Structure 1
């Protein structure tokens, strides 16, 4: 995916609220910006070594955006602490000087959640890459926040264990970012999201106060606050360490690759598999456009004739896998699969998944730019959504390839466009917004695992009513009263929703014509 700063639109109007007083502040410019930057850099230089503090435009350019390149914003400075004491000191400095802080991991997020605040500091935690320890008996791994997702399973393999959540970016994304966004992956249907696999987190509040949530035991005393942190997008605390669950590596895993003449047949097959009480280790779907793009990129041998393909994986003991594969095969056949191939070796199984894991880079090869949406809908509405997206392609005159976690209804439509054309850019954003609103109208949600960030603030106004949004802001204030941690992200203010003319979908007219069909 490519993007140039010249064509990237300005950041959306920031929100304002008691919980986030800095979100509506204009980005400083000229002499005022220079003086503020000088003040902040001087204070940070007192607690960080020179090589751990970046302030020049050249040095901070790489931190101006995350994986959603539509939004770019230079920070006043970037802090790269190497110890927890330095993290704590940076937060205390920023709290004292009233400076917004955006924590950042690998920068692979796709919703703009790690986009810097123009008047603030980026707190990069990329140097926290140590695996603290693996307890094979307790089946846990304690890791620093900058450890890559895949590194946990690699370290645990010697004990016959693995870490289940496996987002497609697992080669690069960090556990801290996974916790911030509640990441999932192709095996989340059976093994759960990050939330279900994290036992304890340690970190600091905006004031530099140490905080530990969760427990290494089955339960923790007091209020169960850990679920608030997982998926909180850096708004509540800065995580430096986590303890996660490890699982025994299955004795066997096999995958079915099924082809369908229509997307409705494939969608119905997904619902039928779950209705039969089968919970596959993975259940993924790709439409014809995505299948062709992926096969051109990594040559996995997908069926290009199919309107849609399903990847259905079973794991466990040999007997369990044999039984589940047989049952899934029957369901797929009953729902119109005209071709079913079962992996006959571990190499072939990995080959099947290689295509799915490369969907995003494959899209980057065929389009200058793309936006990857991340809504979730009830499984039985999959075919309805795909047919609606096909109609949207005609209306917006843009291509859209679909790949998603079919088993739990988590969609990832990739809208292809050329960011150098302002009109295409506007149409792409409107296309994505319509998908989000339709997802809510179908009884779903605006995000499954990528987070809200900056991208979905408007759609949040459609999903949640005023009282619910007010409760979210109250939680934010309880952890971060001055509103300095990642302000203006994830939770829109009531004023923003009112100014944009948004309304909670349940309460009134639907905002897009395609929604009226549902």
Structure 2
């Protein structure tokens, strides 16, 4: 391994010294993402384009130094944390919207472009980019590609995977390659699809071609209040069973409502056990007609109140509460830990009951805000990290919730990824042969040396060695896990 001085000198030769960060006080910014994971890299490098990115990758390979890609650092699975220290490669300098083409309805952007900026630049052509994570004002398209990000408005149209046509990538071998192009489908094996959601383990995105869609001509937003979470969950399944696929269908429970009101005063119905935010869009008349059917169905399923936003300002206020729900939980506790799992819609009510029971037995309050329409849950465990043993209890509680999702026919992640935090749970779903097949894909992209975003996605021993095993995760795996 090189000394820090040798490493910094080599990186400076690749991108210029001013774009290499190495002082301890500067590195502190890059030691974490949106999780409890922490690790200080030896250096951070900020290339300006694909060529400089490739030089950095080849430099790290030649020196035998681990390399971790990083976007905006808003990730929620520890994916951008340098588990084995080494070098963090930030895409923050690559933030240009290179093209908006209203004829082909695509945009070409660099990975450091914020998600929301794409729609801002496309709206002048009557177009938008639908995937909208709650952090869309800050999170970047490169990170969205890495995690296959979703968002509230992905129910009807799909997630990142459904809107990325092509990618310029630097592979883990340091080669610049195009996967896909300007059309959503291309002949041959879908390497573009394999790369999306690979969580930075195969390479680094340096350009993205995204598909744009017309801005809906009409939008109707409803807020339905229910006495209980179970009744709200019943309404979700009932609405979709009636053949209505809203643009978005989001749910918040009583704890979230309390936090949102304390922070934003959006006037959600007082005393509600849960609220369901439903948005419908489409041609003039269609959205209004479907909204009337949704309103009736909510009352049929036990809603105590259903409001329809009168105008864009009221709609924006309702969404402000939903988009700000997670950070608003700081009103209730010093810390929160967000869990990301998916279950079938038909099992939502049962899973919410089991999550409530986990909350009671653990002694930890759990707030729930989630993409109800596609069963993507986000239980938030409230705690105070200053209490002795609190972090360990939180991780054990999160593992119990993940186990429930799997037992109820779901999976480990809807949009936040596996990263470092859930990799030990992968044997709950996949055999050794399954995991080995996935790991072999890394070899195709040159990530066979265990140096490219190590200790992510796969259990310890699959490209990471034994370092970093989570005792809580291993205890939670149980006897029925593949070993």
TM-score, L = length of structure 1: 0.88
SS at match of 1:244: strand
Cα deviation, residue 118, structure 1 = 3.4
Any conservation in 1 of the 2:396–2:476 contact (CA below 8 Å)? no
Matches of 1:291 and 1:84 in 2, distance apart?
A: 45
Deviations 1:141-170 (A, max 9, x none): 100000000000000010011000000000
Matches of 2:272 and 2:85 in 1, distance apart?
A: 50
Matches of 1:325 and 1:354 in 2, distance apart?
A: 20
Residue of 100, 105, 113 corresponding to 1:139: 105
Cα deviation, residue 130, structure 1 = 0.3
Cα deviation, residue 104, structure 1 = 0.5
- What residue is the counterpart of 2:34 in the other structure? 67
Q: Residues 70-149 of structure 1 correspond to what in structure 2 (within 5 A)?
A: 70-149=36-115
Any conservation in 1 of the 2:164–2:184 contact (CA below 8 Å)? no
TM-aligned CA distance change 1:235 to 1:509, over 3 Å: closer
* 2:292 corresponds to 1:320: no
Q: Which runs of 5+ in 1 are unaligned?
A: 1-31, 511-518
Deviations 1:368-404 (A, max 9, x none): 1110000000111111111111111111111111000
Any conservation in 1 of the 2:131–2:154 contact (CA below 8 Å)? yes
Deviations 1:91-133 (A, max 9, x none): 1111111211101110000110000133410001101010000
Deviations 1:22-79 (A, max 9, x none): xxxxxxxxxx8xx5322212211222222101112112110001111x2111111100
- What residue is the counterpart of 1:48 in the other structure? 15
Count of aligned pairs between the two proteins: 475
* 2:228 corresponds to 1:228: no
Cα deviation, residue 90, structure 1 = 0.7
- What residue is the counterpart of 1:58 in the other structure? 25
Cα deviation, residue 207, structure 1 = 2.4
- What residue is the counterpart of 1:249 in the other structure? 215
Cα deviation, residue 498, structure 1 = 12
Any conservation in 1 of the 2:309–2:315 contact (CA below 8 Å)? yes
TM-aligned CA distance change 1:498 to 1:166, over 3 Å: closer
- What residue is the counterpart of 2:336 in the other structure? 370
Matches of 1:219 and 1:181 in 2, distance apart?
A: 20
SS at match of 2:121: helix
Cα deviation, residue 195, structure 1 = 0.4
- What residue is the counterpart of 1:465 in the other structure? 431
Any conservation in 1 of the 2:95–2:110 contact (CA below 8 Å)? yes
- What residue is the counterpart of 1:238 in the other structure? 204
Cα deviation, residue 481, structure 1 = 2.0
Give me the CA root mean square deviation: 1.9
TM-aligned CA distance change 1:218 to 1:42, over 3 Å: closer
* 2:155 corresponds to 1:189: yes
Matches of 2:476 and 2:364 in 1, distance apart?
A: 27
Residue of 476, 480, 483 corresponding to 1:508: 480
SS at match of 1:264: helix
Q: Residues 157-168 of structure 1 correspond to what in structure 2 (within 5 A)?
A: 157-168=123-134
Q: Residues 14-53 of structure 1 correspond to what in structure 2 (within 5 A)?
A: 36-53=3-20
Deviations 1:232-264 (A, max 9, x none): 000011101100011100111111110111111
- Higher RCO (C-alpha 8 Å, min separation 6): 1
Matches of 1:217 and 1:341 in 2, distance apart?
A: 40
Q: Residues 153-302 of structure 1 correspond to what in structure 2 (within 5 A)?
A: 153-302=119-268
TM-aligned CA distance change 1:218 to 1:421, over 3 Å: closer
SS at match of 1:235: coil
Indicate the larger mover: 399-408 or 362-371.
362-371
- What residue is the counterpart of 2:455 in the other structure? 488
Indicate the larger mover: 201-210 or 396-405.
201-210
Matches of 1:303 and 1:205 in 2, distance apart?
A: 51
Matches of 2:340 and 2:216 in 1, distance apart?
A: 29
TM-score, L = length of structure 2: 0.95
Matches of 1:116 and 1:284 in 2, distance apart?
A: 33
- What residue is the counterpart of 1:399 in the other structure? 365
SS at match of 1:318: coil
Matches of 2:337 and 2:206 in 1, distance apart?
A: 30
Indicate the larger mover: 267-276 or 476-485.
476-485
Deviations 1:304-354 (A, max 9, x none): 311111011100112111211111112111111111111111111111111
Q: Residues 346-385 of structure 1 correspond to what in structure 2 (within 5 A)?
A: 346-385=312-351
Matches of 1:400 and 1:57 in 2, distance apart?
A: 36
Cα deviation, residue 494, structure 1 = 6.1
Residue of 292, 298, 314 corresponding to 1:332: 298
